Amino acid sequence: MRPRGARMVVMVAAVAAVGLAVTAGASAAGEQRTEQRTEQRIEQSADLRADLRAEQRAELRRLARELVDAGAPGVIVRVDDGRGTPVEIAEQAPWTRPDHLLKAGDEYRMGSNTKTMMATLALRLVAEGRLALTDPVEKWLPGKVPGGAAITLRMLLNHTSGLYDYTEDPAIRPSFLGADRRRWTSARLLALGVKHAPLFPPGTRWSYSNTNYAAVGAVLEQATGTSLADLVRDRIARPLGLQHTYYATGPAWRGPYARGYEPDAAHMPPRVPAAFRNVAGPRHHGHVDVSGNDPGWGGAAGAVVSTAGDWSRFSRALMSGRLLPAAQLAQLRTTVPVDPERPDGPGYGLGVQTAIHPCGTFWGHDGGMPGYLTANLTDRTGGRTASVLVTTEFWSEFGADPKIAKAAGALQTAAICAMFGKPAPTAAHFR
């Protein structure tokens, strides 16, 4: 793919040079030749783009297959460069096929991509005058968050509140592993996080914390008197025609779904801590099927189910301004540095991440819960989208499998570049 991409640049430049060589004072015959050359240039450019798309599709499929060969049970890839039919790929390990034949349109647990939807809901209420980004948490959740008078809704949405992450509390671990079926509400998840001391004074630093979005969920429920499931359905899924997108209120799925897996205790990579090595679910081929476990512990931070295609439509509607007025969309895109030592590095806005990649600046979010790792990306205007969904997650959560990590990184890079209609960069671009 990379050599063909280099030839494409050279050929387009050569065709352009031919067109520029025609002078403005040409005769009628010369003008006709100019038109013919222009048409030829357009046709050649279209042919070159088609060649690149075909090679990108083949490369994405090859890299998806390599990821499965590296140990991933399965992967879904969807890339839409805004110029034609999206690329949709589903690859899976042979041992998973008796469980389910993986398809690119399968429902999938989106994990922390949920935060983008929660931020969208909050900003829509801001646009309606029902919330303000400057509202202190204390206004909506009196007495529920220590120091809540100094924590604003904006700080929750961009992770600058300093609140401790509830997923670090051992009490959530049985639910995380699928051994505890209790129902977690926004209020209970928030209480679990705020019983710990804050990490820093509000607004002074950035630190990713799921407790922020447990609080956002509680604020949304308090401000509207409506459940999060109904808010997602009525304000996002139904208006956009997202037929397989919903806020999960239990372990049940509503349509064909991707099975998620983790290694069983005997095959768990050594880097995974002992407390996380026993995952609940049916076992076979050295793995545990976690698809029947309840994602409710993710709450407003991670409980949404969707598909790659549905999420692409959501990203397009969000970033193009269909879901939010211009003022609120600008607030969503206003970022803080993830690393204070790199002010021009990756940033976090209101429920969205952004970073500069050799192929272009992308926006979006990633997410992970047992059996499901997600990366849903778009450009600034939503005209291009990419999703890479891997049906196992502990390798990333604990840095436990470098082989899978390397293969996944190569696939994600290729997907980002295909989204921007560019060939994947060589290793030199990352030095």
CA dist 80 and 355 (Å) reads: 19
Computed on alpha carbons and rounded to an integer, the radius of gyration of the chain in Å comes to 24
Least Cα distance to 214 among 289, 293, 271, 297 occurs for 297
Does residue 227 carry a catalytic annotation? no
The C-alpha atoms of residue 281 and residue 348 are separated, in whole angstroms, by 35
Three-state DSSP at 369 gives: strand
Catalytic residue among 112, 161, 186, 387: 112
- DSSP secondary structure, 237-281, as one string: IHHHT-TT-EE-SSS--SS-B---EEE-GGGS-TTS-GGGS---S
- Count Cβ atoms below 10 Å from residue 112 Cβ, excluding itself: 21
Q: Are 108 and 308 in contact (CB under 8 A)?
A: yes
Q: Residue 265 contacts by C-beta under 8 Å, 6 or more apart in sequence?
A: 277, 278
Tokens 């090679």 found at? 55
Active site residues: 112
